[in-house]
Amino acid sequence: MSLLLAIDVGNTNVVLGIFDLSQGPESPLVCSWRLATSRERTVDEYGLSALALMRHQGIEAGQIQHVAISCVVPPLHPVLMSLSRNYFGVEAFYVEPGVRTGMKVLIDNPAELGADRLVNAVAGIEKFGAPLIIVDFGTATSYDVVNAKKEYLGGLISPGLKISAEALFQRASRLPRVEIAAPERLVGRNTIQAMQSGIFYGYVGMVEGILGRLLVECPGSKVAATGGLARVVAPHCTHITHIAPDLTLDGLRILWFRNQGSRK
């Protein structure tokens, strides 16, 4: 069995996914795991964590024939490239300016587009078609817009839900930390309920407001959600029609296949 290890490195989480390449470009995701992102972790710490998770699923290092990486944390770039060489014996495919995407990028400086946003757009077009708006609920919440010609137009970036809540906890000394979750009722009957409702529905309102404006400018667009908090927030947003938590991993698989002919 020939397997592809896809690694998506975000500011909060490192997500690992395994694809079975024997089934071609539509290879399914076999399994995935989520680790906390740490800039201080060594190659060996990441490598041993990956091996332990894989062995728990009955996957050995020798079955990994290819590695694809998307990373928005520059200090971890050399760490993950070394992990690929040292633990799997392969040179990783790294998403960076110049990779073959099959998609025009129409922003002012395409080289500054984050790898995660690029990968999400490629996967979103493949999975849902165009025009399309992708909302990625991560450390930041990003909104990426693709027109009917499958061209990447740009988007918006706002503070993520956890960052917004953390600002409230730090600046309001008498307010306790609360779990970020959909509350049982809108009107809280105590401080904790009131905070949960305000944080959660305040954020939902922001997302709905931005999407409403985007849909006026880009009528007919499908709206897909991904990212660690997609399953928490998206069900409460009327404009979001699709939830795809593994969209970035799927994008890494698609880009790996598209770039095989051009790799040295």
pLDDT in tens, 110-164: 999 999 999 999 999 999 999 999 999 999 999 999 999 999 999 999 999 998 8
28-70 per-position pLDDT tens digit: 899 999 999 999 999 999 999 999 999 999 999 999 999 999 9
Dist CA 237 CA 227 (whole Å): 15
Give the predicted TM-score (pTM) of the model.
0.90
Contact present, 126 and 256 (Cβ < 8 Å): no
pLDDT band at 84 (very low <50, low <70, confident <90, very high): very high
Rg from Cα positions in the chain: 19
* pLDDT average, residue stretch 179-205: 90
Decide if 8 is catalytic: no
- d(CA 98, CA 18) in angstroms, rounded, equals 25
- In the three-class reduction of DSSP (H, G, I as helix; E, B as strand; rest coil), residue 7 is classed as strand
All structural domains of the chain, each given as residue ranges with its CATH number in brackets, are 3-94 (3.30.420.40), 110-249 (3.30.420.40)
Asked if the model's pLDDT at residue 1 lies above 70, the reply is no
From residue 127, give the alpha-carbon distance in Å to each of 26, 88, 155: 11, 30, 19
In this predicted structure, the answer to whether residue 228 has a pLDDT above a threshold of 70 is: yes
Instruction: Look at residue 262 and tell me whether its pLDDT is greater than 80.
Output: no
CB 255 within 8 A of CB 41: no
| Statement: residue 254 has pLDDT above 70 | yes
Residue pointed to by tokens 């890494």: 252
Find the catalytic residue in 8, 44, 108, 116: 116
